Amino acid sequence: MFSTKFIEKLKHAQKVAVLTGAGISAESGVPTFRGEDGLWNKFRPEELANFNAFQKNPKLVWEWYNYRRKLIHEVKPNPGHFALAEMEQMFPVFTLITQNVDNLHRVAGSQIIIELHGNIMRNRCVDCNKIYREIDIEFESSVPVCRCGGLMRPDVVWFGEMLPEDAILCAFQAAQECEVFLSVGTSALVQPAASLPIEAHASGAFVVEINVERTAISRYIDESIIGKSGEILPLLINKIKEK
Ligand code: BV8
Ligand code: ZN
């Protein structure tokens, strides 16, 4: 399953970076965005994950995020999340970069996580930018309101919005400096996150994708391992530990 070259690179790597997408949470029961049971199938991104949609119909957008939040409260991290939390302790420099907003890497024990697209458990006031944890807001009406009177929104990055500056800078730096880059469970369609594996490859890293199918970047990287991340990542850890 794993090439000798990949395992050798990983065994000797000082700096490893990993990009995850919705696929790593699929085995926890969180629908992906573009799969057959994808979240986007019921709604289209343009309708929901953008600020105009929120301004036009904050109630609908909140209904969708509350539906996703409730779902996320009911699921647990899977062996793929736990494997990445363990990998963090196996390399001198390990950078976990996620597009996911589901908080499952944190629940699984990963300490350092670059959240490119925010976190669905956090809320932000559109007027004063005050951050509220999920438990700090009540939904008297269907749209929570800040103490300043401004509407609150989920603290996630919507389409057309800039990613947090520090997050994207750190992510690109990790991609440029790592010796091995793993792209796990992402269709590699959403920019600028999808450029990270390409950037890593251009900077000389050995880039490996773990996905149940080939993706938009498969032909540009070193290796595509077809399989479920919840099964592959624990096997990868065992392989690295083998003397
Ligand atoms: C920005 C948070 C610019 C919200 C999300 C035309 C060309 C290129 C780019 C653009 C374009 N038009 C617009 C853009 C920019 C746009 C973009 O990339 N659009 C794409 C769709 C074309 N990007 C943006 O708007 C970004 N901002 O560019 O700002 C700018 C510049 C100047 C000034 C102002 C602005 C912001 C993007 C962030 C959007 N927010 N999420 C929320 O979650 O509600 S994106 C959303 O997609 C999620 O974060 C998700 O993580 C992300 C990526 O999707 P994936 O994670 O890959 O999930 P997906 O379902 O697609 O794939 C799952 C994969 O897992 C599949 O491959 C499947 O095979 C695999 N899988 C399934 N099961 C398993 C598995 N793999 C392993 N094991 C399994 N068990
Ligand atoms: Zn406010």
Looking at residue 135, what is its pLDDT? 65
> Which ligand is located closest to the Cα atom of residue 68?
1
Of 37-46, 73-82, 195-204, the range with the lowest mean pLDDT is 37-46
The percent of residues above 90 in pLDDT, for the chain, comes to 80
CA–CA dist 224, 123 (Å, integer): 36
Looking at residue 134, what is its pLDDT? 72
Position 63 confidence tier, pLDDT thresholds 50, 70, 90:
confident
Mean pLDDT (the chain, rounded): 92
Which whole number is the average pLDDT over 204-229? 97
Q: Which residue has the tokens 């976190």?
A: 119
**Residue 165, both tokens:** 């500056």
Highest mean pLDDT: which range of 31-45, 133-147, 167-181: 167-181
* 190 close to ligand 1 (CB < 6 Angstrom): yes
Q: Which of the residues 12, 73, 81, 117 is marked catalytic?
A: 117
* 10 close to ligand 1 (CB < 6 Angstrom): no
Q: Which residue has the tokens 């500056």?
A: 165
CATH architecture of 4-30+77-117+163-241: 3-Layer(aba) Sandwich (3.40)
Position 137 confidence tier, pLDDT thresholds 50, 70, 90:
low
Homologous superfamily of domain range 33-74+125-156: SIR2/SIRT2 'Small Domain' (3.30.1600.10)
**Tens digits of residue pLDDT in 156-188:** 999 999 999 999 999 999 999 999 999 999 999
Q: Which residue has the tokens 């793993």?
A: 182
CB 52 within 8 Å of CB 217: no
Cα radius of gyration rounded to whole Å, the chain:
18
The neighbour count for residue 21, using CB atoms within 10 Å, is 27
Q: Where in the chain is the domain with CATH 3.40.50.1220?
A: 4-30+77-117+163-241
Which whole number is the average pLDDT over 111-122? 96
Looking at residue 39, what is its pLDDT? 61
Question: Phi, psi at residue 188, to the nearest 5°?
Answer: 55, 45
pTM: 0.95
Q: Where in the chain is the domain with CATH 3.30.1600.10?
A: 33-74+125-156
CA dihedral sign, ordered 20, 21, 24, 30:
positive
DSSP for the chain, please give it.
---HHHHHHHHH-SEEEEEE-THHHHTTT---SSSTT-HHHHS-HHHHSSHHHHHH-HHHHHHHHHHHHHHHHT----HHHHHHHHHTTTSSEEEEEE---S-HHHHHT-S-EEETTEEEEEEEETTT--EEEGGG---SSSS-B-TTSPBEEEEEPPTTSPPPHHHHHHHHHHHHH-SEEEEES--S-STTTTHHHHHHHHTT-EEEEEESS--TTGGGSSEEEES-HHHHHHHHHHHHH--
Atom of ligand 1 nearest to the CA of 188: 57
Instruction: Please determine, for residue 8, whether its predicted confidence score (pLDDT) is greater than 80.
Output: yes
Instruction: Please determine, for residue 43, whether its predicted confidence score (pLDDT) is greater than 80.
Output: no
